[in-house]
Amino acid sequence: MRKATLRLNCRDVPGIVYHVSKFIFERGGNIIHAQQHREELDDRFFMRVHFDCAQMVDDKAKIRRDLADLATQFDMETRLSFSDERKRLAIMVSKYDHCLYDLFLRHRYGEIGADIALVVSNHPDLQGISEAFGAPFVYTPVTRENKAEAEAQTHALFQDYGVDFVVLARYMQILSPYLVERYRHRIINVHHGFLPAFKGAKPYHQAYQRGVKLIGATSHYVTEELDMGPIIGQEIIRVNHSHSVQDLTAMGRDIEKKVLAEAVRAHAEDRIMVYSHRTIVFE
């Protein structure tokens, strides 16, 4: 328990920063980095505090109980995580391999502060890649007839492997409300389109048909409504009339990888807060 991260949101009233800082100081903590944001539309205050807790004498349970008292005082929603509680992620893929390779490589280089627990796929094609990086691979075919059973099996796997959040690295299946509800705001998807434009299938084809001059990729949390979850990050690249659908697809792979990896890293580092249908992503 060397470091900790506190995220909170509440109605914006005077004294919040003071009381949060005082709370950490009085327990022996030392603030390393703090960021705040005020949402003007409904007068909401958001804060993320990263602090050193090596000298704190209280254990985690006591700190969390005391934090609950502070939260009650200001009617706060709070999330507190410690550096020794490293998150475990599951990757779901189909046949496209570029995002999977990228996540594995970034994880190997220490760029993602979470452990890859396993890879689940509805096709067997990428098993060799997972095994080469030392990650368990589970092939779970999905059909219209067995979808509910397959997702129940997947959920059981996530529980067995202690999965904290899920990354859809070009997983070409629509998740049912069953799985979405169990991992609310903990399933990250990359959509190969600049949402909310060009939702659903074949966004590069849609972009080509409309003659757009920019194409994009979007990372977002999955909700029951297809491609409409809270947006985490977006990237764009310029295109022109000479580019074919195949060109757009090839160009889009780079930004798909980047926007997904950045979302995964932000989630693993507890830098994202979801409020209403928006995200606040701290740097």
Residue 6: which of 49, 36, 35 has the closest Cα? 49
Q: How far apart are CA 150 and CA 159, in angstroms?
A: 14
Nearest Cα neighbor of 166 from 177, 179, 156 is 179
Separation between Cα atoms, residue 234 and residue 197, nearest integer Å: 12
All residues at 6 or more sequence positions from 254 whose CB lies less than 8 Å from its CB, including other chains: 237
Sequence-distant (≥ 6) Cβ neighbours of residue 120 within 8 angstroms: 90, 91, 92, 93, 137, 138, 140, 154, 157
**Among the options 75, 102, 160, 227, which is catalytic?**
227
227 part of the active site: yes
Give the DSSP per-residue string, 51-101.
Answer: EE-TT--S-HHHHHHHHHHHHHHHT-EEEEEETTS-EEEEEEE-S--HHHH
Strand 3-11 versus strand 77-82 pairing type: antiparallel
Q: ω into residue 136 within 30 of 0, thus cis?
A: no
Q: Which residues are catalytic?
A: 227
